[in-house]
Amino acid sequence: MATHTTVAAYRAAVFAAMQADVTLGAVQVSYGEPADAKREEAVWLGNAVDLGSSEDPYIASGRRKRHEEYEVQVTVDVASQRTAPASELRAAVLVGALEDLLAVDSTLSVDGVLWGVPASFEWETDLSGDGGTPRTVVTFDITVKGHLS
């Protein structure tokens, strides 16, 4: 069982699962925002944000068992479509693929993780790309609950 935090292991598992997913096959997958400004489709890991931890109060000495809760941000960026509706539909397919990964195994087999679920999102489409090409960016948060010993 994890002793300090599950954040790094869970982020690594999300990254590995995204790289292995067939639906994301031709999509650029990275550990942070890709430097290439001309990307057509990309998915990347963003920040991990602590939502709070708690200790089990019944342990008087030694390492206390703790529960942790945090969010991992994942961003989907689509600039490969000719119309805004098509851009949004493609983004929805990619977001759905990521949600499906969590539906199959919300812990992503990370020791100490109790569950991880898509929690909230921010969705934006603009026409500021080259020649008015639509770009849809969806940033969603995976809320993760872990148990540490």
- What domains lie within the chain, and their CATH numbers? 7-148 (3.30.2000.10)
| Distance from C-alpha of 40 to C-alpha of 81, rounded to nearest angstrom | 9
Closest CA relative to residue 116, chosen from 54, 69, 48, 53:
69
pLDDT per position as a tens digit, 90-129: 999 999 999 999 999 999 999 999 999 999 999 999 987 6
CA nearest 43: which of 77, 72, 71, 19?
Answer: 77
pLDDT in tens, 67-84: 899 999 999 999 989 899
Q: How far apart are CA 133 and CA 80, in angstroms?
A: 8
This model's pTM is above 0.75: yes
Other beta carbons within 10 angstroms of residue 27's beta carbon come to 21
